[in-house]
Structure formats: structure tokens, C-alpha cells
Structure 1
């Protein structure tokens, strides 16, 4: 999400968006690096899916009683 927002901000500012006069290029580089070190999106989606399935199972058990 941060990269999408930064991409739009850079486009709005045209060439100034990637110059050293604004912090946008620096923010974009940091956001991209963090995204790479945080792991692939697929890993996060799998983690979320497992969490939600566990939560749904617990809710159905709770209502089955």
C-alpha cells in the first residue's frame, strides 16, 4: 500500500518526485526495501488464511455448544 501511495505522489510531482529536493524517492526506496525484507506477499496471505480458518473453526465450535 505504501508503495502505491508513493508511486502516485511521485507521479503527481513529475520529475521533482524523484529529485533530491523532495523526500519521496527516499521514502520509496525505504518502503521497497522493507517490502523485500518483510517476505513475499504469498507468505503473509497464507498466514492470514490460517489465522482466519482457525478463528472460524473456534467460532463454529462455540456456537455448536
Structure 2
């Protein structure tokens, strides 16, 4: 969600949104790094899917 908000703010500010004149570029890079550090979304979705299938097969 943070990346979506930052992306919108950067677009509203135009070229200034991606320059060092605003804090948006730094915040976006930080938020993106945290998203990478958290792990790939596909891995999380796959893990959730496997857990749901395991629970469903026990019923």
C-alpha cells in the first residue's frame, strides 16, 4: 500500500517527485527495498495456497 501511495504522490508532483527535491524518491526506494526483503509475493501466495489445501484435505 505504501508503494501505491508514494507512486501517486510522485505522479502528482511530476518530475519533482522523482528528483532529490522531494523525499518521495527516497521513501519509494526504502519501501521497495523492504518489500524485497520481506520476500517474493508469489512465494507467500504459494505458501498460503498449500496451507489451505492441507487444511481442506483433512476435512
TM-score by shorter chain over 0.5? yes
Alignment RMSD (CA, Å): 2.3
Match of 1:37 in 2: 37
How many pairs are equivalent? 59
Unaligned runs of 5+ in 2: none
Displacement of 1:50 in angstroms is: 6.0
Please tell me whether Structure 1 or Structure 2 has the larger radius of gyration of its CA atoms: 1
Deviations 1:18-63, CA, capped at 9 Å, x for gaps: 11121000000001111111101122224445666789x7xxxxxx
Equivalent position SS for 1:21? coil
Query: Hey, what's the Cα distance between the residues in 1 that align with 2:12 and 2:51?
Result: 38
Equivalent position SS for 1:20? coil
Query: Hey, what's the Cα distance between the residues in 1 that align with 2:5 and 2:54?
Result: 33
The alignment's TM-score, normalised by the length of structure 1, stands at 0.66
The alignment's TM-score, normalised by the length of structure 2, stands at 0.71
Unaligned runs of 5+ in 1: 58-65
